[in-house]
Structure 1
Amino acid sequence: MTERVIVVGCQFPDTGEQKFQMLMDELKELVHTAGGEVVGHIIQNRQKPDPATYIGSGKLEELMNAAETLESDLIVFNDELSAGQVRNLDANLNVKIIDRTQIILDIFANRAHTKEGKIQVELAQLMYLLPRLSGQGQMLSRLGGGIGTRGPGETKLETDRRHIQKRMDDLKKQLEAVRAHRESYRKQRRKNNAVQFALVGYTNAGKSTLLQKLSGAETFQEDLLFATLDPLTRQAELPSGYKVLLTDTVGFIQDLPTTLIAAFRSTLEEVKEADILLHVVDVSHPEAHTQMQTVDKLLDELGANSIPVITVYNKRDKLEGYYNEDTSGKSTITISSFSDDDIMKLKQVMEKTLIEHMRYYRLFIPVSQGKDLATIQQFTLIQQEELSEEGDGYSIEGYVLVDHPVNGTIRKYER
């Protein structure tokens, strides 16, 4: 049964009207993604949150009446609530109450498929719950099911602080083992010197569709927030035939819960391993610029701000009117993921950007050196290859990664 949901938000002086509206629309999308139906919303302008109930007493009464009139099953607040606020709201409202962080955690719990993803979600849920345990008896007893209670981190009333702490320690150990495995996989990738592009961007910007179009691999695509949770790596071929790896990553969002950033750090660190980032932007979104700033800020926090970036303004087909792109010193391209011509143009931009970070070489290799020839063809980006008139060798021009082991072979034949 679809839960009937009322969303509640406060606009404070430091949040502009447009940004606040985006956050409220985003909250409604989160509810939809979690499987709920928004039946009403309550908004209040305040200088700061009420320390006791987040909203003022008048709005609380309005919310109580709305919950009864609209027969709501759930109330979702657009900010992270303190334990005291939840307790006081719970005393006045006979409806389940959760906040923005909880609904994001709930969606993550529903979307986690890999062992690592499930461990990370449970850890994030417990990190969120632990400081809020005291005095939540009545509230916890109401969490009988539905949105906000799903996933491995579902907690019963009798769960005590020591049990949670012990479980968190156990999860951290499991996560460490998974991280070690991921690190060995990364080392193998570095050893093979495979070039890696990472798709980053705001949630629902179209990263998974783009991965599918660039690589030809089937991926989960849906017009929902956080459609991709577990990182996915696929191989793609650039116009020259040079093969690269493409990694899809979890979408970013305004006010991404700190517990999630902490728990998902190993997954997010996939971004830091990339040679080049493809920052995918939903150009049709009215707050595209704000979303870009959110992604840039999170990349900065992850220490990935020095990696070369290609900004991919996506969803051109949904764009009404002209969009003023920020092209200041950046590689940018405006595309529709559903246009084969645009996908080819993007691959050309990817190849051009990659070449800027490679070394040019020119060589002649005898046909008798078949093994070396095959190695050079496999591990370098070849621009031109010609068989000599005498048929005794190949003249090759191309580009190679500066630190790739194949440089040793190339130098034997360079001229």
Structure 2
Amino acid sequence: MNVQVGNKSQQYIDLEDKHGAHNYHPLPVVLERGDGVFVWDVEGKKYYDFLSAYSAVNQGHCHPTIVNAMTEQAKTLTLTSRAFHNDKLGVYEKYVTDYFKFDKVLPMNTGAEAVETAIKIARKWAYEKKGVQEHDAQIIVCENNFHGRTTTVISFSNDENARKNFGPYTPGFIKIAYDDTDALEKALQQDNIAGFLVEPIQGEAGVYTPSDDFMMRAKELCAQYNALFIADEIQTGIARTGALLAVCGKCSCEGHCERQETYSRPDILILGKALSGGAYPVSAVLADDEVMNVIQPGQHGSTFGGNPIAGAVAMAALDVVKDEKLAQNARELGNYFRSRINEYIETTDTVTLVRGRGLLNAIVVNDSEESDTAWNICLRLRDHGLLAKPTHGNIIRFAPPLVMTKEQLDDCIEIIIKTLKEFE
């Protein structure tokens, strides 16, 4: 498809192409401003954001509560490292552990860092608490997972593009099929299993949503075989799926409920992205004392992890989620979105399926994964004022900010359907 961008946009794209590593393939649009559910490009064209920076901007672009918290803290103290205490870290740690109901938090910056942190904690727990012989611990992961692109994480990835020529790979992982409790139980029967690392919904795999009871059964099996249930909620957490955490399943609460503890509460919870509302890199690993206390001084850390700005921003971002009932809004609008798209699917052969939970959804286009159809559809969506991105050649992910209204969503649905009809 012929891709057209304005002259100013092309100048910025050319700068990136010449001076930046070619490690991404962005949609050809150059953004300079955001507010709520909208973004504007350098030519001044307005778009609905239907990706939310891969669910980092759940609270909407430049939410004033979050921005104010960041700017006010930046005026007083930005960074001390962990060589000294600061007056924000303990306050934030109490806030976030109370919020998610865990004993302790280990603060980090990026999602991939948080996953690496959880892996280290799980292995150390296995050696010191479970009695696994050192260097023998195995962590169960799922096929088609996405937990980042660090050396350790790509070692258990199925994405050959992310893996090829980056070896040798880190051992210590067992891959099983996603949403397969029989395979999970078989793997857990080995006596050297530290834990099971899993996404409650596989986002990069195409918003692949498991059976309603998969998270609950996984938690039960991990408890039965004395292995840690490790939930990667970097993309699915913080109200995105209609509950505070996706491991809550199809919960009918507004995101803060007892079911979080009794249904499938993870032993290790990994958070990132919307933990800061997209304003600042903030991630966190939460666990109870029996697990977290295996980490002692000097064994893990980060110069920026737990810095004062991060603490202030994260508390403000989580306040917004609770105060504005974003989990409830995501649940209601998500049900409505899938209903409307399903009505369209009944009339066409262009799209075969819509799936997801809350406002994390995807459509499956009636074409092969090797095709460029989904990419071309996203280019036309851009032309019509809506930004989305494929996850595969035939899958498009739809994840708008959770502050979206029903009227705005109706407008977006009309854009999506109008665009899809151009490909019939």
Relative to the length of structure 2, the TM-score reads 0.28
**By percentage of residues, which structure has more strand?**
1
Q: Taking structure 1 as the reference length, what is the TM-score of the superposition?
A: 0.29
Q: Specify the structure having the higher radius of gyration (Cα).
A: 1
Where relative contact order (Cα < 8 A, 6+ residues apart) is larger, the structure is 2
